[in-house]
Structure 1
């Protein structure tokens, strides 16, 4: 364990630096925006007893073939343990199933069940409405370009 470094009044970080970081830190601004967007979508999806994270997870399973954990975890920028925990309430609700891959018994396949499809059919129009509202909050920004830029930042 490292010892704290004693600081004199002259060696303290100037408050102006704090203001500079507050005003220029991309990480801070992206995190704040992400939390605000998550709250907005959580509220809109509440009538379906879904969070925005659960909606994204269900959407990630809406594929022609059931995916395994790895690609879904990668798409959602989650580790496999977090994804497994996030799947449990959806599995208990009968929206998804987690099964063994017949080609490789070490893998788990994630299937969106009929109840999950039905829930998405109800939730997607709400998601679309909220997305239009969010896009309208960015009048000086091209939302498609903004999404492109955010994807560039999210690459490992």
Structure 2
């Protein structure tokens, strides 16, 4: 059997790095009771209010089923609400609530601490280059 070295496996390297970085952000954001994905949802809705479920799923690069599972705790906590689109009761728009804005404001400092920690250990310029390359890879040109 011809085995591939893990050091030549791009998927493994990216997933391992993502888990490593996610743990750092999870540790800091857990102090305010949200996950990095929930932080990203709140942050996205704060910047782009009233996204449809599909638009949010596309922005988060996740399928709608996973998005719905991730949204449920945010909705139960009153941080995100949804409303049916007029004339199309099957199409929902997502909204950050006042409580969601307050939670996001509380979480931003913890996110900044995690970001600074990563940039200190990895290098600020290296982190910026990495972000650009990852956004280039995913085709997200809004990040520039």
Fold-level similarity (TM above 0.5): yes
Determine which of 96, 100, 103 is the counterpart of 1:116: 100
Summarize the alignment of residues 49-68 of structure 1 with structure 2, pairs less than 5 Å apart.
49-63=33-47, 65-68=49-52
**TM-score normalised by the chain length of structure 2:** 0.88
Query: Which residue of structure 2 aligns with residue 31 of structure 1?
Result: 15
**TM-score normalised by the chain length of structure 1:** 0.82
Radius of gyration: which is bigger? 1
Summarize the alignment of residues 6-25 of structure 1 with structure 2, pairs less than 5 Å apart.
12-13=1-2, 17-18=3-4, 21-25=5-9
Paired with 1:87 and 1:140, the residues of 2 have a C-alpha distance of 32
Q: Secondary structure at the match of 1:27?
A: helix
Residue by residue, what CA displacement relative to the aligned partner does 1:56-77 show, whole Å, maximum 9, x if unpaired?
1111111353111111101111
Between structures 1 and 2, the one with greater helix share? 2
- Residue 49 of structure 1, CA deviation: 1.0
Per mean C-alpha deviation after superposition, the further-off stretch among 33-42 and 138-147 is 138-147
Q: How many equivalent residue pairs? A: 140
Query: Which residue of structure 2 aligns with residue 145 of structure 1?
Result: 129
Over aligned residues, Cα RMSD in angstroms? 1.8
Paired with 1:76 and 1:25, the residues of 2 have a C-alpha distance of 24
Paired with 1:38 and 1:70, the residues of 2 have a C-alpha distance of 24
Paired with 1:127 and 1:118, the residues of 2 have a C-alpha distance of 14
Q: Which runs of 5+ in 1 are unaligned?
A: 1-11
Runs of 4+ aligned residues of structure 1 deviating over 6 Å after TM superposition are none
Bigger relative contact order (CA 8 A; separation at least 6): 2
